[in-house]
Structure 1
Amino acid sequence: MKKSILRSITGRLLILLLMLSMIFSTGVFAAVDSEKTDTDNTIDTKATGDIGVQYRGHIQNKGDVPLPVGNFVSGPGELGSQSEGLRLEGLRIELTGDVPSGAGISYAVHVQNKGWMDTVENGDFAGTTGEGLRIEAIKINLTGLDGYEVYYRGHVQNKGNIPIVDNDWGWVKNGAELGTTSEGLRLESIQIKIVKTETYTALGDSIAYGMSATPGSGYVNLFYNDLKGMSGNEDLSLVNLGVPGYTSSQLLNQLSSDPTTMAALSKAKVVTVSVGGNNILAPVIASLAAAFSLDPTSATFPAELAAALAQPGAEDIITATLPTIQTSVTASVTQFVTDWPQIIATIKTLAPQADIVVATLYDPINTQDPLYAIFEPSIQTINHTIMTPGAGYKVADVYTAFATYQGSEALVNFNWYIGSLDPHPTTAGHELIYQYHLNAGFIN
């Protein structure tokens, strides 16, 4: 009987390993997708943060405004007018608030008969006075000020409010041209504001990456859409740094050495983490590769493994390797327990103001399956580590969500009986993971 059970486990493990070798191939292990959804000029963002902007100008028939001379309009108030047909002839722009040393704002104007004039900065005058020449266009940039963007919009002769985005008055930003340069039209008014850039940064493995979900329907995308719809998050951008195949140690290395990750976290308002599954799966693949003398980093590894598993005696090799697999998995799970506090501490250091939500691991294998007894204890160890009380983050208990699910749609693609062995969540599974991120009770 014991031999029969072992044969059953070995046979299923052989099939599982073959499938995993295809899913976690070399190309996938190496893949990194940094998806940033930019706000562009389509969102009427709110000025936030400790840094603002103020400006004053010179207007046809009015002279220096606002009065008394020397006063400023605070962003995003309007400088100029939309109904008087008066040209904006010159202006000064400067930052306000806790401006770091070396930071500033630069701007250049396109003037009638003169073209683009030299760029000036930090309150210097751009344009003309006493010459009766109109400003036709402007470009504005921030300098030396990470974590902020400058947005601006205006009113142009014969065109009205610009830019128009999705049938509404939008904004341009960060050096984009506002106005016209070849139509002889005056810029009549301008509004400027400084926006603090914030991100939702997703970290982890292929589940965070969105593998096996309908494009755009991974839990990260769904959660981002929900966050962005909340007041105060209008300019929140998404940076998805999930990497298929990543283990806890690889995530920790990413946090401590990757400039893109560090930059994204420095602006993070929300961080989610989904990692740990590959601490179980990766050593299984590595042990199998060693057993068949294969190189798991080779581009042809999946094909080589498929050929090896098809050879006579493959089951015997796997059976003999099972103790090694168990030892390797145990060591990798133990490494997760070691890595996890460092991962969280590093995230908190890089993103001290961010709300952090961490997902537990689900078990894709049915409780009646012989492989359940192999994977379940490791999953429980990782989840117990994640759910450490008082760790300073919220937990999306995906394990419980999947284990107690009563719906009709499959949450994972893993099903021996129909030959579907992908352990990733389905689109329905990603939807449930997203719902449990909402249920985690993050702070808005």
Structure 2
Amino acid sequence: MKKLIKTIVIVLLASLLASPSVFAKSDNAKESLVAVGDSIPFGFNLGQTNQNPAKTSYPYLIGKLADLRVRNLGVPGWQSDQLLEALQTDQKYRQAIIHSDYVAVTIGNNDLLAILREAAAESGGDQVLFQQLLGAKLNESDVFSNIQQIITEIRSLTDSPVVLYNVYNPFQLTDTLHYAADAVLPTINTAFTALALTNQDVFLADAYTAFGNNQAEYVLPADIHPTKAGQAKLAEIGLGALGLY
């Protein structure tokens, strides 16, 4: 009898293992959002420490509102070339994207801030020279080429919809850099719009328009990162871009 039971168990296990549906994702399982990028999806300076992504960052807010599982892979300080390398070589990132249902991308902010600050420092307050330096440095930058390659790499791994965030003005109205940024960000954000329009199932989240001149509400004081209200606004436009309302 024991031998018969053992044989039945083995046969049952074999039949289960042979069935492709056993380990398939359940139809009732939650869909997932994978967020990649810099300190903005990470939620920098919103928690007691910056050791882990803040639960009040926009990816988790989207997850809560749209009932999605969230994998937040934002890394403070990252520029576009670092995210591109991770997507090309790091299995953690590649597997996360492969198993995603939605992808959020926020990158390029640190590239552009570095260019803005370099131009401001080198111009010595001369606005004409500043604009010239800024234009030259933007033309030399690989940021938008990198972002296109990031999108291409994501598309090679999944056909999940992608929401691409453009750049809000991170400077308070009392900061002279606010007006320098406002002079160039519409042109810069045109490139983000073009990236969304020319890639399949990539949707723009217009952070620039959403934040407008409300930095006092949406940007942390003496900082460039979103407040909790700013993160909520980013979640709102992300949900809208992905059609998850």
| TM-score of the pair, normalised by structure 1 | 0.44
Q: Which amino acid aligns with 2:55?
A: G
Change (3 A) 1:94 1:369: same
1:198-242 alpha-carbon deviations (Å, 9 max, x no partner): 642101110011113343111011112223x2xxx5xxx422111
Is the contact made by 2:165 and 2:206 (CA closer than 8 Å) also made in structure 1?
yes
Is the contact made by 2:107 and 2:147 (CA closer than 8 Å) also made in structure 1?
no
Give the structure 2 partner of residue 184 of structure 1: none
| Aligned pairs (5 A) from 1:100-115 | 105=17
Give the structure 2 partner of residue 24 of structure 1: none
Distance 1:375 1:149 in 2: 54
Shift of 1:346: 1.4
1:195 to 25, 28, 34: 25
Greater percentage in helix? 2
Shift of 1:428: 0.7
Give the structure 1 partner of residue 103 of structure 2: 271
Shift of 1:379: 2.4
Is it true that 1:428 corresponds to 2:229 in the alignment?
yes
Distance 2:98 2:78 in 1: 22
Change (3 A) 1:386 1:245: same
Tell me how many residue pairs correspond in the alignment. 226
Helix, strand or coil for the counterpart of 2:94? helix
Give the structure 1 partner of residue 40 of structure 2: 207
Q: Which amino acid aligns with 2:33?
A: Y
Change (3 A) 1:443 1:286: same
Give the structure 2 partner of residue 319 of structure 1: 124
Greater percentage in strand? 1
1:49-108 alpha-carbon deviations (Å, 9 max, x no partner): xxxxxxxxx9xxxx99xxxxxxxxxxxxxxxxxxxxxxxx84613467xxxxxxxx4xxx
Change (3 A) 1:378 1:287: closer
Is it true that 1:361 corresponds to 2:162 in the alignment?
no
Change (3 A) 1:284 1:371: closer
Distance 2:243 2:175 in 1: 36
1:293-329 alpha-carbon deviations (Å, 9 max, x no partner): xxxxxxxxxxxxxxxxxxxxxxxx8828995897367
> Which structure ranks higher in relative contact order (CA pairs < 8 Å, sequence separation ≥ 6)?
2
Change (3 A) 1:242 1:149: farther
Give the structure 1 partner of residue 155 of structure 2: 348
**341-350 vs 278-287, which moves further:** 278-287
2:199 to 391, 397, 401: 391
Is the contact made by 2:106 and 2:166 (CA closer than 8 Å) also made in structure 1?
yes
Q: Which amino acid aligns with 1:428?
A: A
Shift of 1:277: 1.3
Q: Which amino acid aligns with 1:425?
A: P
Unaligned runs of 5+ in 1: 1-57, 65-88, 97-104, 106-121, 124-144, 151-193, 292-316, 414-419
Distance 1:95 1:264 in 2: 30
Dislocated runs of 4+, deviation >4 Å: 284-288, 320-326, 366-369
Distance 1:95 1:212 in 2: 52
Shift of 1:286: 6.7
1:132-155 alpha-carbon deviations (Å, 9 max, x no partner): xxxxxxxxxxxxx9xx985xxxxx
Shift of 1:370: 2.9
- Structure label with greater radius of gyration: 1
Distance 1:250 1:436 in 2: 25
1:303-359 alpha-carbon deviations (Å, 9 max, x no partner): xxxxxxxxxxxxxx882899589736752564223223222121111112x111111
Change (3 A) 1:336 1:382: farther
Q: Which amino acid aligns with 2:144?
A: V
Is the contact made by 1:280 and 1:329 (CA closer than 8 Å) also made in structure 2?
no
Give the structure 2 partner of residue 223 of structure 1: 62
Is the contact made by 1:203 and 1:274 (CA closer than 8 Å) also made in structure 2?
yes
| Aligned pairs (5 A) from 1:21-36 | none
Q: Which amino acid aligns with 2:56?
A: S
| Aligned pairs (5 A) from 1:162-311 | 194-195=24-25, 199-214=32-47, 215-227=54-66, 229=67, 237-283=69-115
Change (3 A) 1:339 1:318: same
Helix, strand or coil for the counterpart of 2:87? helix
Unaligned runs of 5+ in 2: 48-53
Q: Which amino acid aligns with 2:13?
A: I
| TM-score of the pair, normalised by structure 2 | 0.75
Percent identity between matched residues is 26
